[in-house]
Homo-oligomer: A and B are copies of this chain.
Amino acid sequence: MADKTQIQEAIKIQGEVVRKLKSEKATNDQIDEEVSKLLALKAQLGSDDGKHQFVLKTPKGTRDYNPKQMAVREKVFNTIVSCFKRHGAETIDTPVFELKETLTGKYGEDSKLIYDLKDQGGELLSLRYDLTVPFARYLAMNKITNIKRYHIAKVYRRDNPAMTRGRYREFYQCDFDIAGKYDAMIPDAECLRIVHEILSELDLGDFHIKVNDRRILDGMFAVCGVPDDKFRTICSTVDKLDKMCWEDVKTEMVKEKGLSEDAANQIGQYVSMQGGMDLAERLLQDSKMSQSKQACAGLSDMKQLFSYLQLFQVTDKVVFDLSLARGLDYYTGIIYEGVLTQAGATPAPPLQARAGDTLDGVESVSVGSLAGGGRYDGLVGMFDAKGRTVPCVGVSIGIERIFSIMEQKAEAEKVRTTEIQVMVVSAQKNLLEERLKLVTELWNAGIKAEVMYKKNPKLLSQLQHCEESGIPLVAILGEQELKDGVVKLRTTATREEVDVSRVDLVQEIRKMTSAV
């Protein structure tokens, strides 16, 4: 054990390291790293004193939400939940941890990112890694074959956090899924309509929604001469096209993954294609593509999808893009991703991926992915003893990314963190009782109101509090007002004051705050 002086010396040195990084404008991640070492050293020292040995911080990769952030969060959630409800979704909730074996074998090599709980006797537990696997477990366990549900909750990944870019170890997922055996592409089209509605309403900037189909990708690989056992790895290289140029992608395919130059060139021609229903039609006629049964199935579904999207009035934003190849293994049909078109104005942290997205998958959506999803018809069957499947299609809104954009927007603005409509204040001393009486009248009428918890607060400090917190109205009580049976009602913004008879007060406040 190091002695006190040694630790103090180490603290001094570590302090220098932090100062140096700051002066060199190092990344926040680097600074965070060194600051936490410094705090740990200080804590060690503190424990010698025996009393205040706490390191005052949240765990790595997590954060508190302060009231302003919560107000932004609430606004975003309201928009999203209203949309889900407009489309008839129910909601469910599942525990934050699952039996470890429920998560085992679902996330491929990402399983190393799962938080396990300590074995304290009893069952072995892990924190949920996403909401999709718990949803599938819920459906199988309750033998549910039909449901349209949303689920908003935190998930946990022992990932390398990049908090300045909106990437955390504890973060929200916000999922909408439709489970059930239905006619092709109708629920799939509704998912796209939902992405369109949410991204339009949140007003984050211009966006488009890329769509593709796992069957089209696989068919394309087949006709281009990719060996079966290389489909997945080539797919994950294609997935990098949104942050790497084609030349680099091709090099990776040929040099690293051992694909033939010829096959790579053929893929290159296809993945540059973008379009709509017309492209699907053209590819159905394509001499090579039409040789793959799988691709043809995907392409005629794509045509069908676009016809529904037209009816849903969202084709303005939807692009059939052959380069879209989401990392997830479990997708079986259509896949999609909503992205900001101009990522320049806002930061572009990578979207936290859904279940099973490989790290590569996560990195590759860094241009500004705000929503993603697809069809996964096989997952529920993995939980059913008899392998009964329930077809599912869903979308996950990249809510943490949206929070960072909205928070940044909100930084400049004044965001109210309470909903108080009126503050009851007194002009003279010794009016606490009268204030409490009046605020009670207001509470009884359902008005959001407060008083200062002081016997004799200064009028000025009460009025200042209203201006700072954006409380729109002030109800002022003084000797004269009490005698006259009135309350002086002050509008914070204009500082106008009117005397309102006590019996009309509630009515008047309602009128004035509904207009505000």
> Residues of A at under 8 Å CB distance from B?
43, 46, 51-60, 62-67, 70-71, 73-74, 85-99, 101-102, 115-120, 122-123, 125, 127, 137-138, 140-142, 147-149, 154, 156, 158, 170, 178, 180, 182-183, 186-187, 190, 193, 197, 308, 311-313, 382-387, 417-420, 432-433, 436-437, 440, 443-444, 446-451, 453-455
Contact = CB atoms under 8 A, between A and B. Distances in A.
A85 B450 CA distance: 10
18 contacts: A54-B137, A54-B383, A57-B99, A59-B99, A59-B125, A60-B123, A64-B92, A65-B92, A66-B92, A86-B446, A86-B447, A86-B449, A88-B449, A89-B418, A178-B453, A180-B453, A186-B454, A313-B444
A151 B437 CA distance: 28
A157 to B, nearest CB: 12
B137 A59 contact: no
Given A67-B149, A94-B64, A448-B86, A141 B57 contact: yes
A124 to B, nearest CB: 9
A138 B92 contact: no
A438 to B, nearest CB: 9
Contacts of A43: 101
Contacts of A387: 51-52
Contacts of A154: 96
A475 to B, nearest CB: 14
A73 B137 CA distance: 22
Given A55-B99, A92-B67, A418-B90, A117 B116 contact: yes
Residue in A71, A99, A127, A142 with the greatest tally of chain B CB atoms within 10 Å: A99
Given A52-B385, A63-B95, A383-B56, A453 B89 contact: no
Within the oligomer, what is the number of copies of this chain? 2
Contacts of A117: 115-118, 127
Contact of A90 (B64, B147, B417): B417
A122 B60 contact: yes
A140 B55 CA distance: 11
Given A52-B384, A54-B102, A70-B90, 5 more contacts: A43-B101, A52-B383, A64-B138, A65-B93, A183-B453
A125 B61 CA distance: 12
A454 B64 CA distance: 45
Nearest to A170: B95
A308 B455 CA distance: 12
Nearest to A102: B54
A488 B147 CA distance: 27
A58 B311 contact: no
Contacts of A54: 101-102, 137, 383
A148 B432 CA distance: 19
Contact of A59 (B63, B92, B97, B140): B97
B125 A120 contact: no
A58 B98 contact: yes
Nearest to A118: B116
Nearest to A87: B450
Contacts of A59: 95, 97-99, 123, 125
A311 B433 contact: yes
Residue in A125, A149, A417, A453 with the greatest tally of chain B CB atoms within 10 Å: A453
Nearest to A453: B182
A322 B417 CA distance: 39
A311 B448 contact: no
Contacts of A102: 54
A436 B88 contact: no
A448 B85 contact: yes
A53 B104 CA distance: 11
A58 B63 CA distance: 27
Contact of A311 (B57, B436, B447): B436
A137 to B, nearest CB: 7
B443 A197 contact: yes
A98 B60 CA distance: 10
A315 B343 CA distance: 59
A5 to B, nearest CB: 20
Contacts of A418: 85, 88-90, 148
Nearest to A146: B453
Residue in A53, A66, A85 with the greatest tally of chain B CB atoms within 10 Å: A66
A64 B141 CA distance: 11
A119 B122 contact: no
Contact of A443 (B53, B86, B170, B449): B86
Contacts of A119: 118
Contacts of A420: 88
A301 B317 CA distance: 65
